[in-house]
Amino acid sequence: MDCAPSGSQNDNCDIKVPKSELNSSDPSTYHQPGTPSCNERQLKLERDKLKDKLRILTKMEKKEKVKYYTDEVKKKLRILEDQVEKLRKELTNAKQEEEGLMNEMESTGQAFEEMQEQNQKLVQQLREKDEANLNLMGERIRYNQAQKKIKEEKEILDSMLKLEEKERALMENRSTLEHELRLRDQTNEMLKRKAAESAQSANDLRLRLDKLTTQFNEAQYSIKKKAASYEATSTSIKRLEEEKNSLKRLVERAKRMEKFDNIDKVLEEENRLLKEALTCPSCKVHRKDAILTKCNENVPSAMLALAKQITTAYSSNDDAPVNLFVWFSLNSLGSCPLD
């Protein structure tokens, strides 16, 4: 857009806004580093300038307004207004954030002061606790030392008590041993007296035994003599009885001979009786092993009693054999066989 050379247009040309200047009002040029308040002031200045330019443009003629007031300018103005509104909102938000941060800083500072006060109180409490702990430690050390000393004294007293108990026990043992020794001495003396009495009684008993032995030997000798005389008498009596029996048999034989006319019949009858005596009474066939008749030798009465005891179980009617060893033993000793 170039200006006309007329006078009225020259006046208007002096107030034309160059396009390059309008382009310089691009929103990107306003976004310079700084605080939100500085950006706001810059935007206000730009806005004032644009308002002045708009007032100037409104004074221009319609043709010139059409020329200069293009859609692009309107668009840029809308953009700038939007940016202004946006920046105003950002400013409001920044103020709110600043107020929140300030409040937070105040609360944080207050909390920090409270924390410092609490820390000071805690430090004071810790110091007091440390002092109390040190005092307790000192008291505990003193208590441990006193307890250790008391324990040592107690151990010493216990050892002394044990020694006293041992001494008392030893004294009791000593008195017991002395009493036992006295009792043993008394027992030994009593045993010695008893031994002496026993020796005396043994001597007396020995003398009495010798006397009784002498009396026993004398009595035994007299008994043997009497027994020998009794045995001789009994032997003579037995012989007389045997002679009596033999004579009785002879008388009976003579009577039988008188009774029978033939002597042979008498002898046959005697032989039959002898055979029956030699034959076993059970089977009537086998002969007996041995029959003891008699002997006329003198033997002691004890041997005769033994022989009778041995041969009593056997008789002429038994079928058991008689042991000949008994007969030979008795015969060798001078015993008398049984009928």
Q: For the beta carbon of residue 80, count every other beta carbon within 10 angstroms.
A: 18
Q: Is the pLDDT of residue 138 over 60?
A: yes
Which band of pLDDT confidence, cut at 50, 70 and 90, is reported for residue 335? very low
- Provide, rounded to the nearest whole percent, the portion of the chain with pLDDT above 90: 16
CB of 335 within 8 A of CB of 304?
yes
Distance CA 339, CA 321 (A): 16
The per-residue pLDDT of the chain, averaged, comes to 74
Q: Is the pLDDT of residue 294 over 50?
A: no
Phi, psi of 33 (to 5 degrees): -65, 140
**What's the confidence (pLDDT) of residue 171?**
92
Taking only the tens place, the pLDDT of each residue in 265-288 is: 777 777 887 788 778 777 777 777
Helix/strand/coil (H/E/C) assignment for every residue in 218-287: HHHHHHHHHHHHHHHHHHHHHHHHHHHHHHHHHHHHHHHHHHCCCHHHHHHHHHHHHHHHHECCCCCCCE
Distance CA 49, CA 71 (A): 19
Query: Rounded mean pLDDT of 134-152?
Result: 91
Question: Does 237 or 68 have the greater pLDDT score?
Answer: 237
Q: Where are the alpha helices (DSSP H) in the chain?
A: 7-13, 19-23, 27-30, 36-59, 62-68, 71-259, 263-278, 301-311, 324-332
* Domain annotation covers residue 313: no
* Domain annotation covers residue 304: no
Q: What token pair was written down for 147?
A: 């307890």
Query: Rounded mean pLDDT of 15-27?
Result: 42
Query: Rounded mean pLDDT of 12-34?
Result: 42
**What's the confidence (pLDDT) of residue 261?**
64
Q: Amino acid identity of 97?
A: E
Which band of pLDDT confidence, cut at 50, 70 and 90, is reported for residue 79? confident
CB of 231 within 8 A of CB of 300?
yes
Question: Does 168 or 326 have the greater pLDDT score?
Answer: 168
* Domain annotation covers residue 26: yes
Question: Does 25 or 147 have the greater pLDDT score?
Answer: 147
Q: Is the pLDDT of residue 204 over 60?
A: yes
* Domain annotation covers residue 61: yes
Q: Amino acid identity of 270?
A: E
CB of 22 within 8 A of CB of 54?
no
* Domain annotation covers residue 108: yes
Cα 321-323-328 angle, rounded to 5 deg:
145
Domain range spanning residue 110?
A: 7-120
Query: Rounded mean pLDDT of 61-82?
Result: 69
Q: Is the pLDDT of residue 321 over 70?
A: no
* Domain annotation covers residue 127: no
Question: Does 200 or 60 have the greater pLDDT score?
Answer: 200
Distance CA 80, CA 39 (A): 13
Which band of pLDDT confidence, cut at 50, 70 and 90, is reported for residue 309? low
Q: What token pair was written down for 224?
A: 């043997």
**What's the confidence (pLDDT) of residue 22?**
41
Distance CA 310, CA 313 (A): 7
Question: Which residue from 257, 336, 255, 243 is spatially nearest to 297, judged by alpha carbons?
Answer: 336
Taking only the tens place, the pLDDT of each residue in 219-249 is: 889 998 888 888 888 888 988 988 888 888 7
* Domain annotation covers residue 17: yes
Question: Does 40 or 152 have the greater pLDDT score?
Answer: 152
Total number of domains constituting the chain: 1
Phi, psi of 243 (to 5 degrees): -60, -40
* Domain annotation covers residue 138: no
Q: What token pair was written down for 135?
A: 């005092």
Q: Is the pLDDT of residue 330 over 70?
A: no
Taking only the tens place, the pLDDT of each residue in 146-166 is: 999 999 999 999 999 999 999
**What's the confidence (pLDDT) of residue 105?**
82
**What's the confidence (pLDDT) of residue 48?**
85
- According to DSSP, the residues that pair with 287 across neighbouring strands are 279
**What's the confidence (pLDDT) of residue 170?**
92
**What's the confidence (pLDDT) of residue 35?**
58
